[in-house]
Amino acid sequence: MSETKNIVEFPNLKAIEEEAALWIARLDGRDSLPTSETTALREWIAQSPQHRDALERISLLWGGLACLDDLNYLDDASVVGDCGQNPASPGHKRARWWAGGAVAASLLVAAAGSFFLDFSGQRDLQTGHFATAIGEQETVVLADGSRIILNTNSEVTVDLSDNRRSINLLRGEAHFDVASDTDRPFLVYANDGIVKAVGTAFTVLLRKTSVEVTVSEGVVALISRASLAQTPAGDSEPTPIEDIAPLAALTVGQSAVFAETVESLTRMSGEALDRKLLWRGGFIAFAGEPLSTVVADVSRYTDITIEIEDPELENMPIGGYFKAGEVEDMFDSLEASFGIAVERVSPTRVKLSRAS
């Protein structure tokens, strides 16, 4: 027997989890699946026990799907044909995943206070418009218990109705901690993308022409807004958002950039996720990002224009924790630890160059 015949290929668990999340996002809110999709789902689950386990686990994170309550649901085609949410089902439990460490948590607690604003008493909020200036942050608590944390220089509108919860992110960045409500999906409209959630936590950052989404809890689906304008053959109305197949579904620790298509998809460690979300407590952190990225991020928290004079410095890796808005501390660190000269041209303009 050749050696190659003794090799056993193990399933790619990360890929299986991502595929399971996409199936759950496609099932959500739909009364039935086309025969072709039902067949495809059966074949997908039959590939390995890991496929079935991943589908059931991601279902719990999403909020529980009635059609997945029974471990043998795929043996009954009629069950697959009823994939609406069932909040009374045994599987309707919100699993909370917390990625993080004691250091990050202590930083978040210590930062609460002087730098940011907090308007967390608005628990009867159904509609509204909220915006932050440079260096401000606002926390908004909605009537359903969901919380929105607006980062610096950000803007949203809120509209909660009987059948859905709609948020428009018009500028900047926001973190959403979504209260589970299987009857009302939570939709964040941003640039050309839509982020759909049930009960989860995620951050949305507007880029120039795309959207960056990072998931810290549960599962979210990514949908292209262009899909809403599509009209099925023979219909006069556009496709309802519940029937639109998502571009992708993200789970805890995943981050994606998308618009009409998914441009990039990455999986972060718990430490990297902590760093990315430290802004909620008033800190920003870097672990080897190029100076150009650091400058672009820090610039969001100040009205000072920061210019990198020497192009060779743009890719210099930078690491450290900085309090958001206190840009002088960062300048001091660049001079002391990274050999960068900081020239203060004016109160609102700074040039960075290599120290001689």
The answer to whether 212 and 186 have CB atoms below 8 angstroms apart is no
Q: Residue 63 has what pLDDT?
A: 52
Query: Do residues 262 and 140 both lie within one domain?
Result: yes
Q: Residue 234 has what pLDDT?
A: 55
Q: Name the domain boundary from 275, 296, 327.
A: 275
Other CB atoms within a 10 A radius of the CB of residue 88 amount to 8
Other CB atoms within a 10 A radius of the CB of residue 56 amount to 18
137-194 per-position pLDDT tens digit: 999 999 999 999 999 999 999 999 888 899 999 999 999 999 988 888 899 999 999 9
Q: Residue 127 has what pLDDT?
A: 87
> Tokens 């298509």 belong to which residue?
261
Query: Do residues 156 and 27 both lie within one domain?
Result: no
The answer to the question of residue 95 being in a domain is no
Query: Do residues 305 and 267 both lie within one domain?
Result: no
Domain that holds residue 40: 9-80
- By DSSP bridging, strand 155-160 and strand 305-308 are unpaired
Query: How far apart, in Å, are the Cα atoms of 123 and each of 94, 162, 232, 281?
Result: 21, 17, 40, 21
pLDDT band with cut points at 50, 70 and 90 for residue 134: very high
Among 49-53, 166-170, 234-238, the least confident range = 234-238
Q: What is the CA radius of gyration of the chain?
A: 23
The answer to the question of residue 24 being in a domain is yes
Q: Residue 241 has what pLDDT?
A: 79
- Per cent of the chain over pLDDT 70 is 70
- By DSSP bridging, strand 138-141 and strand 147-150 are antiparallel
CATH code of the domain in which 311 resides: 3.55.50.30
The answer to the question of residue 2 being in a domain is no
Q: Name the domain boundary from 31, 46, 80.
A: 80
Q: Which of 58, 64, 59, 68 is nearest to 33 (CA)?
A: 68
Q: Residue 235 has what pLDDT?
A: 58
The answer to the question of residue 329 being in a domain is yes
Any residues with CB less than 8 A from the CB of 212 and at least 6 apart, and which? 204, 205, 255, 256, 257
Q: Which residue has the higher pLDDT, 226 or 63?
A: 226
pLDDT band with cut points at 50, 70 and 90 for residue 263: very high
* Tokens (6 digits) for 228: 């809403």
Cα 344 to Cα 331: distance, rounded to the nearest angstrom: 10
Query: Do residues 204 and 337 both lie within one domain?
Result: no
Cα 33 to Cα 54: distance, rounded to the nearest angstrom: 20
Query: Do residues 107 and 227 both lie within one domain?
Result: yes
Query: Do residues 255 and 315 both lie within one domain?
Result: no
Bridge partner residues of 256 (DSSP): 213, 265
Q: Residue 116 has what pLDDT?
A: 43
The answer to the question of residue 87 being in a domain is no
Cα 77 to Cα 67: distance, rounded to the nearest angstrom: 10
Mean pLDDT of the chain: 77
Task: Report how many domains make up the chain.
Answer: 3
Query: Do residues 111 and 226 both lie within one domain?
Result: yes
Query: Do residues 113 and 131 both lie within one domain?
Result: yes
Other CB atoms within a 10 A radius of the CB of residue 316 amount to 20
* Tokens (6 digits) for 186: 């939570």
Q: Name the domain boundary from 220, 242, 275.
A: 275
User: pLDDT at residue 216 above 90?
Assistant: yes
Q: Residue 19 has what pLDDT?
A: 74
Report the run of H or E that residue 217 belongs to, with start and end.
Answer: strand 211-217
* Tokens (6 digits) for 5: 């015949």
Q: Residue 231 has what pLDDT?
A: 56
